[in-house]
Amino acid sequence: MFNGDTIAAIATPPGIGGIGIIRISGPLAKNILTQLFQSKRATKEFKSHKLYYGHIIDPETREVVDEVLAVLMRAPHSYTGEDVVEIHAHGGPLILKKLLDLTLKAGARLAEPGEFTKRAFLNGRLDLTQAEAVIDVISARTERELKIATHQLQGYLSERIKKIRNCLREFKAHLEVAIDFPEEDIEIVPPKLWLSRIKKEVIEPIERLVKIYSENRALREGAVLAIVGKPNVGKSSLLNCLLKEERAIVTPIPGTTRDVIEEVLNINGVAIRIADTAGLRKTQDVVETIGVERAKEKISVADIILWVVDRSVPLEEEDREIFEEIKEKKTILVLNKCDLPSVLDTEILKKEFNLPIVSISALYHQGIEKLERIIFQQLLGNTSVPEFVPKLRHKQTLEKALMAARKAKEAVEKGLPPVFVSIDIQEALDALGEIIGETTPDDVLDVIFSQFCIGK
């Protein structure tokens, strides 16, 4: 068990409140309480988890400082896993400051931000992902964020990680036998079985976690949607339609939009930054050329593309060139001008491009709701609220683990000696251990806990 000094802090937010709480954690917690607390029923023996009514006395002057309720939570059954004392006093900044000073004089030291939670982690009360979730629970702005944080606090993410690690550990144990007794000529492991287990129980689950991260990154930071297509197909009309205002200039002249026009659109509570771009074509016009360059830059950063095609005219080589530009991206093919006689067949387009297709009329506002639904679905996937979302730190470490696991799989496939495979497996184990805090470097821990407020 981690054995530190005794720390104290005001645990309630600054300002005036009904009550304010001083929290003390560490080996001296009970001693400090005994020094400061006085009650009519001369209780010097505090029972754990029992609330006591009394007064805080300044030991030097013997003066009463405040009327309080105090509780001692004996190790290990407390938030930090150490002896913890909470003094519930009146919630004013001056009185709380005074009480805190008394605890410091009595032997505690001022806690650093997040130090209570850090102790909970060091004492094994929480793993690292759960400690991180504590910040998220406190700072959640929406129901969605709160739900995700609560799941992570309950250990949903760590459970997945532990399961993957168990499989890796089992494999490593098999490899070790083969390394230790090479002369026995034991078949290391039926390679087929392990290849399939590494794939199903390690690589695929990690890939899924990374995917959850990237799918939700867009939602956390606001997704970027780019409207692209040939000149004059109705891109700006579509932007106006989605925004429900005449934001961009619309004319029958191809090459109307020269610059990127950006606005924020709200679809089902998700902020989407939507960009109308210059029609993509080869042109001699200097301004338009710059516009086309900017459109291409937008494509490269977009999370999702609306590729607009004019349904009333045949596809041209230019349309296919645009498809080449965007085919790596998540794209919805939007067939515009469906109010006019159509010459494009959706079945044929589906075969050629293999994209979700929506038919609309930007001029008459037809099909827009369906398009919004598909945009939302494409961005969020079909799961409406994910159980948990890995953080950037998790994702980076997951990718490290993924690389190592893939290397291990390759090594088995190539029939390399078990020592080689074992090194890769260990690397994957270490990376995953970093996520839950088993092998996390100190500087990473410092960064994580410094994000907390004092008293948490």
Ligand X SMILES: Nc1nc2c(ncn2[C@@H]2O[C@H](COP(=O)(O)OP(=O)(O)OP(=O)(O)O)[C@@H](O)[C@H]2O)c(=O)[nH]1
Residues contributing to the site for Mg ion (CB under 5 A): 235-236, 256-257
Judge contact between 56 and 89, C-beta under 8 A. yes
Q: How far is CA 48 from the centre of its chain?
A: 37
117 binds, among ligand X, Mg ion, none (CB under 5 to 8 A by kind): none
Question: CA of 326: how far to CAs of 9, 297, 323, 352, in Å?
Answer: 55, 11, 5, 14
**Minimal CB distance to Mg ion: which residue?**
257
Q: Is 252 labelled as part of a ligand binding site?
A: yes
d(C-alpha 128, C-alpha 213), whole Å: 18
Neighbours of 269 (CB within 10 A): 10
255 is an interface residue for ligand X by CB under 6 A = yes
Closest CA to 128 of 98, 147, 103, 155: 155
87 binds, among Mg ion, ligand X, none (CB under 5 to 8 A by kind): none
Q: Is 253 labelled as part of a ligand binding site?
A: yes
Which residue has 């300002």 as its token pair?
15
Q: Is 117 labelled as part of a ligand binding site?
A: no
Binds ligand X by CB under 6 A, chosen from 15, 18, 252, 314: 252
Residue whose CB is less far from ligand X, 115 or 276: 276
Residue whose CB is less far from Mg ion, 362 or 421: 362
Q: Is 237 labelled as part of a ligand binding site?
A: yes
**Least distance to ligand X from the beta carbon of 249, Å?**
7
Binds ligand X by CB under 6 A, chosen from 336, 359, 378, 422: 336
Ramachandran angles phi, psi of 17, nearest 5°: -150, 170
Q: Is 373 labelled as part of a ligand binding site?
A: no
User: 3-state DSSP call for residue 138?
Assistant: helix
Q: How far is CA 121 from the centre of its chain?
A: 20
Binds ligand X by CB under 6 A, chosen from 313, 363, 423, 454: 363
Measure CA of the first residue to CA of the last residue in the chain; give whole Å. 20
- Please name the helix (run of DSSP H) or strand (run of DSSP E) that holds residue 30, with its range, or none: helix 29-36
Binds ligand X by CB under 6 A, chosen from 251, 268, 377, 384: 251
State the amino acid at position 440 in one-letter form: T
Binds ligand X by CB under 6 A, chosen from 257, 359, 378, 422: 257
157 binds, among Mg ion, ligand X, none (CB under 5 to 8 A by kind): none
Closest CA to 157 of 354, 404, 392, 387: 387
Judge contact between 162 and 433, C-beta under 8 A. no
- Would you list which residues are annotated within the binding site for K(+)? 232, 251, 253, 256
Residues that bind ligand X (CB under 6 A): 229, 231-237, 250-252, 254-257, 278-279, 336-337, 339-340, 361-363
- Would you list which residues are annotated within the binding site? 23, 86, 125, 232-237, 251-257, 276-279, 456
- Would you list which residues are annotated within the binding site for Mg(2+)? 236, 257
- Would you list which residues are annotated within the binding site for (6S)-5-formyl-5,6,7,8-tetrahydrofolate? 23, 86, 125, 456
